[in-house]
Structure 1
Amino acid sequence: MALLLFVTLLCCSLLMLIAWRVQQSSGNSTWVDVAWTFGTGAAGIALALWPLSGHGPMTARQGLVAVIAALWALRLGAHLLQRALKGRDDPRYAKLKESWGASYQWKMPAFLQMQAVSVFILAMFIMLAGRNPAPGLGLLDILAIIIAGCSIIGEALADREVARFAANPANKGKICEAGLWGWSRHPNYFFEWLIWVAYALFAISGLSFPWGALAWAGPVVMYLVLVHASGIPPTEEHMLRSRGDAFRDYQSRVSKFLPLPPRKARS
């Protein structure tokens, strides 16, 4: 197991090093997110499924966790890949480049190695979900499947709604409030967080896997990252700069993260 973990961490580091070179040559930071997504999925699947001495045949839970990780990575990765191929840079990374100034050239690879560590840590949460030795599938497994399905479908729907809104020239400069975006200012981040809840439920199903409780660090970490660090704060900062009072009005009416019925407009 130690060797598998070491090799996985090394692969994560090499992947993000390649992502940095691609980002440097293309000038498009979205490639970093593409690498992060596919890397997290691949590392999680490898850690969940790789045969280990002393372990029996693959369980249904291992297979389900691997399939969910693959579906998540393929769906989100394909979405980000499409954006990268269209040359759409991520404003979050543009802001980093602006704030770092001349030190950007050496800070960016160091930052991406931190991303490599995050890929490895998240992959370990997927591993805990798959390696739960509890026999059969219980109610928590079924609940985890439902939540994972809602997560993947919900995030895909949110991405499609905002893409369709942005594709209409009449909406230039406006705020997307279509569908899920009228209930949450960041439904894509909410559904992204939700899948880590599903992994945690897989990990504790059967209540016989002491290490499984560690998987709850997954949704906690993702919540902190998405809501308080590199997710919502820089995104909303960019929207406030580009949309101004229109976005402030949107903030006053629509929930930040959890999808909730919108509040009435300010008088």
Structure 2
Amino acid sequence: TQGGAAEFRGISMVAFSAILCFAIQLTAWVPASLLQTERFYDLTGGLTYIILAITTLMLGSKEEDPSTRELLVTALVIIWAIRLSSFLFLRIHHAGKDGRFDDLKTSPVRFLVPWSLQGLWVFVTMNVVIVINSQSGPSPSLTAWDAIGVILWVAGFCVEVVADRQKSAFNANPSNEGKWIDEGLWSISRHPNYLGEIMLWSGIALLGVPCFSGLEGVAWVSPVFVYILLTKVSGVPILDRRAMEKWGEDPSYLLYRENTPEIMPRLISQK
């Protein structure tokens, strides 16, 4: 080891993790491209998180048993990945397809783009976990930061699960066909599932505070990346554009859009 971080055959754990992320996506892209299917896209993403979490835990614990923090953060990632990827897989299985891929899966080269982006997504969001799990030597003792991080993760996980279930139940009701959801958590945030995602990854980042030193502080890019990607790039902008195409001329929707925060609910009601 060098610089307090474990290595794999002379390669830094960060570099090895990046290679692993993209190798898994490339391996899955080949059959998906041949079959022109996106059905296993989200499942592959979740599997990549799990493989990366377990691999870095094992490689970083060659010289000593994994610490409580390492076991905890690995477990949190696995729980989240299993829940979200299975939810997304079942959703696309029932729907039959994911409209985001309609114009991409017919071209192997274009179809490679979302798979590559998924590799980047996993790698960047997992940076905190990679740093925590690749620590060599005794792990720092648990601190108040860890407690706050776990609480934030649990809260975020619950928000994401509840938001997903509320929307699934809403969409499953035939009387809601063609309508937007504005009840439950969706009445106080237009994208509460993304709020939960941002919260739980921020919680994981807090678990890494005692482990960061020097350049390892770059791992803080993880929750920042999640926030920027979801709110500025691939999440909110795309969904809001689709929503405006559907209901942009409906005064009720425009009122909902105006009165409901994009992500963070208002602490004080304006009503």
Larger fraction in helix: 1
Is the counterpart of residue 29 in structure 1 residue 38 in structure 2? yes
Match of 2:266 in 1: 260
- With over 3 angstroms needed to count, the CA separation of the structure-2 counterparts of 1:151 and 1:51, relative to structure 1, is same
What letter corresponds to residue 48 of structure 2 in structure 1? G
Structure 2: distance between partners of 1:88 and 1:257: 29
CA distance in 1, matches of 2:212, 2:175: 56
- The one-letter amino acid of 1:251's match is R
Residue 64 of structure 1 corresponds to 72
How many percent identity over aligned positions? 25
Equivalent of 2:206 in 201, 207, 228: 201
The range that moved more, 133-142 or 19-28, is 19-28
Return closer, same or farther for 1:170/1:30 CA change in 2, 3 Å cut-off: same
Matched, 1:15 2:20: no
Say which of 123, 136, 142 aligns to 2:141.
Answer: 136
Whole-angstrom distance in 1 between the partners of 2:230 and 2:212? 31
Match of 1:93 among 94, 101, 110: 101
Q: Label 1:128 to 1:193 Cα distance change in 2 as closer, same or farther (>3 A).
A: same
CA distance in 2, matches of 1:227, 1:88: 27
State the Cα distance separating 1:252 from its structure 2 match: 0.8
User: What SS does structure 1 have at the residue aligned with 2:116?
Assistant: helix
User: Hey, what's the Cα distance between the residues in 2 that align with 1:113 and 1:58?
Assistant: 31
Measure how far apart 1:23 and its partner are: 4.1
Q: How far apart in 2 are the matches of 1:7 and 1:232?
A: 31
Which of 169, 186, 191 aligns to 1:186? It is 191
Distance 1:88 1:188, change over 3 A: farther
What secondary structure, in the 3-state scheme, does the structure 2 residue paired with 1:34 have? helix
The Cα shift of 1:171 comes to 0.7
* Partner secondary structure for residue 223 of structure 1: helix
- Aligned 1:194-233 pairs, distance under 5 A: 194-205=199-210, 209-233=213-237
Separation in 1, partners of 2:257, 2:85: 29
- How much has 1:212 moved relative to structure 2? 4.7
Tell me the alpha carbon deviations over residues 213-239 of structure 1, each in whole angstroms, 9 at most, x when there is no partner: 222211111111000001111111112
Maintained 8 Å contact 1:12/1:116: yes
Deviation of the 1:28 alpha carbon: 4.6
Give how far 1:199 is off: 1.9
Across the two proteins, how many residue pairs are aligned to each other? 257
**2:171 aligned with 1:166, yes or no?**
yes
Displacement of 1:134 after TM fit? 4.6
Secondary structure of the corresponding residue to residue 140 of structure 2: coil
Q: Match for residue 124 of structure 1?
A: 127
Question: Relative to 1, partners in 2 of residues 1:58 and 1:134: Cα closer, same or farther, differing over 3 Å?
Answer: closer
Task: Measure how far apart 1:194 and its partner are.
Answer: 1.4
2:118 corresponding residue in structure 1: 115
2:116 alignment partner AA:
Q
Equivalent-residue separation in structure 1 for 2:159 and 2:111 (angstroms): 32
Equivalent pair of 2:164/2:193 in contact (CA under 8 Å): yes
| Alpha-carbon distance between aligned partners in 1 of 2:105 and 2:47, rounded to the nearest angstrom | 29
Would you say the 8 A contact 1:41–1:73 is kept in 2? yes
Conserved? CA contact 2:188–2:260, under 8 Å:
yes
Distance 1:69 1:187 in 2: 20
TM-score normalized with structure 2 length: 0.83
Q: Partner of 2:40: helix, strand, or coil? A: helix
Residues 16 and 184 (structure 1 numbering): CA distance in 2 closer, same or farther, change over 3 Å?
A: same
Cα distance in 2 for residues equivalent to 1:28 and 1:182:
34
